[in-house]
Amino acid sequence: MKITQISNNRGIIIKSSIKKVIIDGDVENASAFKDVVITHLSADTLNIIESNSSPYRRINVSFDLMQLLQKLWRNGPLKRPEVMPKFRILPTNYPSVLGLEFRITPFDNDDGLIGSFAILIEDMNTGEKLGYVPNFITQGQHRNRIKKWKKHLRNSKLNQLIMFNTNVDPDKKQVGYSEKDFKNQFTEKVERHDDDWIQNQLVPFNPARLLTINELAAESNNPIIWLPAYARLLHYYYPDEDWLYQSDQLSDDLKEFFEKAHHLVAASQQDSDGILQSKSIIPLNQRLSEYAAQFKYTLPQNDLTEIMQIIGAQETYLI
């Protein structure tokens, strides 16, 4: 198995005797491949999907990411690709064959966004094993996921391990991102009426985070009043939670759904001290980059070093 790092971008190309597969990367590199594996959401990987030019390209993603994309296309925040690729869902903790020569096993990961996974790739001809881990945070909403893929990769006795390093704290402050700190910060921002910061958090790429925000805002007596498209999306994920929505923004084709649905509550800012979710003219790709930036440099170097030592691959590379 030959591995090539994509220059000026985070991703790799793996090649066997007859098969080439790109993992992550960007539109320019992915356009030449029939098989693409997307391990996480980023502006580049989302752009690969949105800018697809071949109906025969197969894009391999997690179930969670595929589910979110379908809901975003249906509810309007995200535009469907003009040329829809063939999507394939890679089940977590279960090996799938990619081409005729690679076996790939994904493991759920936590990078602050939905649909991320670490992967184990095995060359079925040579038996070589590669671990590939995109960005991650060790104290997020799903920190147990990190422990699980770390254990799987250690037990696999890897020949090579490739990990992203953009989340590593370059100043070695050893202050990691934590969910507790986020909750405290959000409550403080609501009390200070820091609307710009709050609006930057209201992006659709982590429904679990938006549920937390909805609960914290309600507890502060400043509930979020969502745009209808977001309220409908979040109602799908959490149908037993109350979601306030801006009734004056409701389009005619959605009125019947909202009138019949439970836990979707019409509201306006005048009804309460609510925080109106604002419409943004900034493309979702750019908003995704800005949102993901809050996790940058939040992984302590000690955490990364410890994980690499535990996995114990013969060779380890940071990209």
Q: What is the DSSP letter of 202?
A: -
The candidate with the shortest Cα–Cα distance to 92, out of 131, 115, 62, is: 62
Query: Where do runs of H (alpha helix) occur along 82-168?
Result: 143-155
Confidence at residue 174, expressed as pLDDT on a 0 to 100 scale: 56
What digits encode the pLDDT tens for the residues 243-270? 999 999 998 888 889 988 999 999 875 6
Pairing of β 96-98 and β 102-108: antiparallel
Confidence at residue 194, expressed as pLDDT on a 0 to 100 scale: 94
Q: What is the pLDDT of residues 276-293, one digit of tens each?
A: 999 988 888 889 999 998
What stretch of H or E contains 119?
Answer: strand 117-123
In this predicted structure, what is the pLDDT of residue 252? Answer: 87
How far apart CA 12 and CA 164 sit, in angstroms, is 11
Residuewise pLDDT in 10s, the chain (319 residues): 888 887 667 889 998 877 889 999 989 889 889 999 999 999 999 999 999 999 999 999 999 999 999 999 988 788 899 999 999 999 999 999 987 789 999 999 999 999 999 999 999 989 999 999 999 988 888 989 999 999 999 999 999 999 988 888 777 665 567 888 899 999 999 999 999 999 999 999 999 999 999 999 999 999 999 999 999 999 999 999 999 999 999 988 888 899 889 999 998 756 667 899 999 888 888 899 999 988 888 888 888 999 999 999 999 998 8
* The pLDDT of residue 172: 67
* pTM greater than 0.85 (yes/no): yes
